[in-house]
Structure 1
């Protein structure tokens, strides 16, 4: 029982004796079930579930959650079954464990399909019991803490998955201490050198300017005390990944202690929050446009505070967050804050818990409307981490939407029936395009007609998962005939000079089998709904396959999609290979994003099925295109300035820049530059090659 000692000490502090005995029983079952199993580090496997349970116990979760954490791998990794767990500990614990378990015992065609189905199962289990995802987050946290025993490539892969899925999930549920730790651990695994350098800089800054932090804290505290406001004030250090993100976003270097601290002001009441804001604005000059009121309008995850940025002593920036004690706890713990208050029938839900429950209900609605696991996961991921805007109904109700949301998204957020019968919108009492993005603070009035219905074209501009799924659901249920008619029109247009009637039954049947569709009407409906592209289907109906030769050139030239300068702004270009005018290109049809243009040599085309010949039309586009360059240059003080001057001289723009030190005094520089076309890019490359110290320069296109 030595392994149980640390966990036992934590639960002794908040669980009653009878519940502690149940947790001990779960530990014994887990220990015996994992007997003889070891982790990659060589430790007994039971150390992992005990560590996961300890993370949850530190958040004061109930005994069932701690028991399920101890048992979370027994169904997956041992002969123990869900039925046995249910008989021993009850159906609730067994269902939580089953929700966490992976689907390794089922057979999937690809690893990606397995990951998608695992994630779908976890999300849906979470909608039934949120403790499922809390265990999953604790499980991932301990795995990230012990990544050192794995190969570097596996560490990077797990870290990338953590940043893309688990960090946004923790943030969406408001569990900031877990999100921050996962981000820092992922940062360390993916970029160990950058992590070490930044960590040392922070340590130096912390030691050198600690007196300034104490001075500012004391000045704020004295000012508030003089105004009769009792407050706790301290400078809280930001975590490394947040500092790194800020430096990358603003393309800046680490300067001072003020880059790593934000001041926390914790007061007793909401009234004190607003009074404190006025007092510190009298103490330090506020920076225009940098005051945010998340008390009146909380963030999506329930976070509340007043935030302000000011000019402090000696001109240094001072960032302050003002909260009550309750707000501070919810900001740190999210849905797990005041978890104990839900025991024995009590259910005094926090703002974070109420908002999480609404979000989970939204996930249930999405699941009921989508056609497959991949579509479900894409919609869920789009809900994870949006930057919010807040708009108002004519009656003053606040509606929270992701940035970029349109009036149609707003209509569906208010009610599905309003979205389905929407015909127009007025914003601030003036007509407003349905497809135009809304802005925070606007008052939006939706105009409806009883006989109206959603348009398939709305799918091209709505951004919320709710709007997308509702529109698709309506089209699938009520507009099948219209979709078939539209699909037939589009296919006949793409078949010119041929027609659909001229095709043989064998040609149609062959295409249906390849697409796994049961009838021609189903094929036409999919085209009409925008799920399949008519020019791509023509290649299959005519028995033509896109073939790409060794130089990346496609061999088929019928039914070419022309990418004209006028349409470039509304065309999606792949971020993996960054095609630019002049490159050989291919159109790739995707279920959620429609047509995406790739470079013909892009490695992601290897397994793509829906391909269409594409070609640039002559003419100058009004937009610039990003190209990724990889430069190896001698690691000298003038290296980066020389690169930037060369790019500026060639009239190119720098969108992003990453650097990493290599051996032999070399510096690897990854640049994203904006150019007009291939000829412009060649001019940029020529300028870079002429810089003294450049060893090599090449364009990254994710080539096969």
Structure 2
């Protein structure tokens, strides 16, 4: 029991005796279950869960959390099951242990897939009970402390995982002491040489700075006394990983980072925080645009403090954080501060309330993500938010990550607003949907019931909510398009045989043969190009003579959603003779009939090439490519672009190449409605006096 004594001393300070006895019973079971097991270092395995429980005891967490911490590897590594733990210690403890347990017994296609699924399970367990992540963070902290016994490659892998997932999670939940320790340990394991060099430089600089720090600190203390404010002034050390990241990201030298002197002032109440701010600004000159009020508007993780930057003695920059003692405790412990576990989400600390709001949003992300990797990607984009605060037209504050756009704002208001967004007005002026928003702006979203999300939005949105909603809509749209396209292709392949005439037994047989769950899944596969309609038709009706009859062309409008693509090699437009190639995963790709890229495929895999024709009224704009030869006199290019625009066409791409005698070859990619429209554009271009030759360029290539 000697291993338990230190933990018992800690928990006895804040837990009643009966709960301490429950924890001791959990320790005994864990010790016996792990008997004979050792860690990589050679220590008995039980030392790990005891250390994890000790980290949580330092946060004054409840007895159920500490019991689950002692038992967190029992289900995974011993013969005990969740039911055994439930009988011994209750359902809550068993659920916590299962939430923390890993997925080693499941099979995955890759290590990345296994890791992503592991994180997904952990985060979704956190939605049910936030204590799961507290145990997991303590588990990771002790593993990082004892990383030295592992192989270098394994150390680096675990360190990278810690820096990418666990440290940001601790930050998102406001647990900064854990976050800082994980970052420094991860930095040490990833870059041991850089860590040693930086630590040595910091130790040396600390000695050189001692006199200035003491002088500035004494001046701050005297200012508080003269203002009649009771408080404590502390020098604030930047931790190593923060210094390293600032040097790397902002391309600063070590001297530039260390030239900033940081202090923390802790006072009794919020009123005194603002009184201290006034006293500091009266003492030293504040630096413009370097003041943040996180008391009035707390950060996403519940952090509260006043931040200001000043020009201190001898012109050195001084950063000051001003907060109450409670805020100071919250800044270190975050969601774990003043822990008293409650099932009601309307009680608790600011960090606990913010954390509950965030983890509930994970449920929506989970529902809208098709794979674990996509879910983790969405979560990771939400883990590093430097926030901005903007307003709705009614004055409601909306919190968004730095770099957020009007589309992110629209989805933050409601998913329906995002899905029907067509424009935005910021401060009553039109505003580009892709332009980042700034702090304090008032945003109005313009919607249309016929609008739908654009796949290009994924190139600039930054919030996980917007990204997951857009992807969800596009996947649903693609699925609907695929079913519709698959239906058309299969009916075409069946020729004169109607789909209604095929017996349900034959349809079910083919569904099973193609390993689909439903007939709709089979149609989706056909529409996506994963199954060939001609082969499926033969499976449905055998070698029926009707299949070999000459079939009509499949008609397309050009706007069949996400499953009709137009090849860049020959740029087909309405009026051209066309064929389609079935491309697995993409649907159909339209080519001109004479395109050189499809001749070989037509000979080797004719079943993948379908005859196509344009609908009577093709919709939308299409890309075409022209090649021009002209004399490059002054103003020629301007005249050319003006001519094209006057024909109701837009230039997508333009490339030039000089030939001899001042003749230039220009390749232009532009928009057109059909062959008639393109012919009109070419006639107008031929009227230019500098032009030598213009032709349609079927093999347009980007240089």
Q: Same fold (TM over 0.5)?
A: yes
1:251 CA displacement: 2.5
* Structure 2 SS opposite 1:255: helix
Instruction: State the match for 1:119 in structure 2.
Output: 119
Q: Deviations over 1:537-568 (max 9, x none)?
A: 9685599xxxxxxxxxxxx9999x999xx989
1:471 CA displacement: 3.3
How far apart, CA to CA, are the structure 1 residues paired with 2:383 and 2:257? 32
Name which of 513, 517, 522 aligns with 1:519.
Answer: 522
How far apart, CA to CA, are the structure 2 residues paired with 1:233 and 1:429? 45
1:48 CA displacement: 0.3
Q: Does 1:309 align with 2:309?
A: yes
How far apart, CA to CA, are the structure 2 residues paired with 1:412 and 1:294? 24
1:166 CA displacement: 0.6
Q: Does 1:446 align with 2:445?
A: yes
1:221 CA displacement: 1.5
Name which of 617, 622, 625 aligns with 2:702.
Answer: 617
Instruction: State the match for 2:429 in structure 1.
Output: 430
Task: Confirm or deny: 8 A CA contact 2:345 2:356 kept in the other structure.
Answer: no
Pairing of 1:65-76 with structure 2 (within 5 A): 65-76=65-76
1:417 CA displacement: 3.0
Task: Confirm or deny: 8 A CA contact 1:202 1:257 kept in the other structure.
Answer: no
* Structure 1 SS opposite 2:297: coil
* Structure 2 SS opposite 1:333: helix
Q: Deviations over 1:668-701 (max 9, x none)?
A: xxxxxxxxxxxxxxxxxxxxxxxxxxxxxxxxxx
* Structure 2 SS opposite 1:297: coil
- Of residues 346-355 and 301-310 in structure 1, the stretch that sits farther from structure 2 once superposed is 346-355
TM-score (norm 1): 0.71
1:475 CA displacement: 4.7
Task: Confirm or deny: 8 A CA contact 2:365 2:375 kept in the other structure.
Answer: yes
Q: Deviations over 1:345-383 (max 9, x none)?
A: 897411111111111111001112222222212111111
Alpha carbons of structure 1 residues 256 and 201: separation in structure 2 relative to 1, 3 Å: farther
Instruction: State the match for 1:292 in structure 2.
Output: 292
Task: Confirm or deny: 8 A CA contact 1:258 1:317 kept in the other structure.
Answer: no
Task: Confirm or deny: 8 A CA contact 1:422 1:446 kept in the other structure.
Answer: yes
- Of residues 364-373 and 77-86 in structure 1, the stretch that sits farther from structure 2 once superposed is 364-373
Instruction: State the match for 1:331 in structure 2.
Output: 331
1:301 CA displacement: 0.8
* Structure 1 SS opposite 2:382: helix
Task: Confirm or deny: 8 A CA contact 1:206 1:257 kept in the other structure.
Answer: no
Alpha carbons of structure 1 residues 80 and 529: separation in structure 2 relative to 1, 3 Å: farther
1:461 CA displacement: 3.5
1:403 CA displacement: 2.1
Instruction: State the match for 1:382 in structure 2.
Output: 381
How far apart, CA to CA, are the structure 2 residues paired with 1:514 and 1:617? 41
Instruction: State the match for 2:356 in structure 1.
Output: 357
Alpha carbons of structure 1 residues 87 and 221: separation in structure 2 relative to 1, 3 Å: same
How far apart, CA to CA, are the structure 2 residues paired with 1:409 and 1:503? 46
Task: Confirm or deny: 8 A CA contact 1:390 1:440 kept in the other structure.
Answer: yes
Instruction: State the match for 2:247 in structure 1.
Output: 247
Q: Does 1:105 align with 2:105?
A: yes
How many pairs were matched up? 550
Alpha carbons of structure 1 residues 538 and 355: separation in structure 2 relative to 1, 3 Å: farther
Give the CA RMSD over aligned residues.
4.0
Task: Confirm or deny: 8 A CA contact 1:20 1:63 kept in the other structure.
Answer: yes
How far apart, CA to CA, are the structure 2 residues paired with 1:392 and 1:314? 41
How far apart, CA to CA, are the structure 2 residues paired with 1:96 and 1:245? 35
Task: Confirm or deny: 8 A CA contact 1:258 1:318 kept in the other structure.
Answer: no
Alpha carbons of structure 1 residues 429 and 335: separation in structure 2 relative to 1, 3 Å: same
Alpha carbons of structure 1 residues 75 and 451: separation in structure 2 relative to 1, 3 Å: same
Alpha carbons of structure 1 residues 538 and 197: separation in structure 2 relative to 1, 3 Å: farther
Q: Deviations over 1:129-187 (max 9, x none)?
A: 11111111111100100011111111111111110111111111110000100111011
Task: Confirm or deny: 8 A CA contact 2:261 2:317 kept in the other structure.
Answer: no
Alpha carbons of structure 1 residues 105 and 346: separation in structure 2 relative to 1, 3 Å: closer
Task: Confirm or deny: 8 A CA contact 2:527 2:563 kept in the other structure.
Answer: no
Q: Does 1:318 align with 2:321?
A: no
How far apart, CA to CA, are the structure 1 residues paired with 2:337 and 2:564? 46
1:449 CA displacement: 4.2
Instruction: State the match for 1:209 in structure 2.
Output: 209
How far apart, CA to CA, are the structure 1 residues paired with 2:260 and 2:39? 36
Task: Confirm or deny: 8 A CA contact 2:528 2:585 kept in the other structure.
Answer: no
1:279 CA displacement: 1.2
Instruction: State the match for 1:671 in structure 2.
Output: none
How far apart, CA to CA, are the structure 2 residues paired with 1:67 and 1:160? 29
Q: Which runs of 5+ in 1 are unaligned?
A: 493-499, 544-555, 569-613, 619-704
* Structure 1 SS opposite 2:262: strand
Instruction: State the match for 2:164 in structure 1.
Output: 164
* Structure 1 SS opposite 2:255: coil
1:60 CA displacement: 0.6
How far apart, CA to CA, are the structure 2 residues paired with 1:108 and 1:69? 27
TM-score (norm 2): 0.71
How far apart, CA to CA, are the structure 1 residues paired with 2:624 and 2:386? 34
Alpha carbons of structure 1 residues 80 and 184: separation in structure 2 relative to 1, 3 Å: same
Task: Confirm or deny: 8 A CA contact 1:562 1:617 kept in the other structure.
Answer: no
1:425 CA displacement: 2.0
Alpha carbons of structure 1 residues 202 and 128: separation in structure 2 relative to 1, 3 Å: same
Alpha carbons of structure 1 residues 339 and 542: separation in structure 2 relative to 1, 3 Å: closer
Pairing of 1:76-87 with structure 2 (within 5 A): 76-87=76-87
Instruction: State the match for 1:224 in structure 2.
Output: 224
Q: Deviations over 1:406-437 (max 9, x none)?
A: 22221221122322333332110112223332
* Structure 1 SS opposite 2:218: helix
How far apart, CA to CA, are the structure 2 residues paired with 1:417 and 1:87? 46
1:250 CA displacement: 3.0
Instruction: State the match for 2:175 in structure 1.
Output: 175
Instruction: State the match for 2:636 in structure 1.
Output: none
How far apart, CA to CA, are the structure 2 residues paired with 1:434 and 1:217? 47
1:308 CA displacement: 1.5
Pairing of 1:439-478 with structure 2 (within 5 A): 439-450=438-449, 452-476=451-475
Pairing of 1:665-680 with structure 2 (within 5 A): none
Task: Confirm or deny: 8 A CA contact 1:243 1:259 kept in the other structure.
Answer: no
Q: Which runs of 5+ in 2 are unaligned?
A: 496-509, 530-558, 569-579, 587-598, 602-608, 610-622, 626-650, 654-698
* Structure 2 SS opposite 1:134: helix
Task: Confirm or deny: 8 A CA contact 2:528 2:584 kept in the other structure.
Answer: no
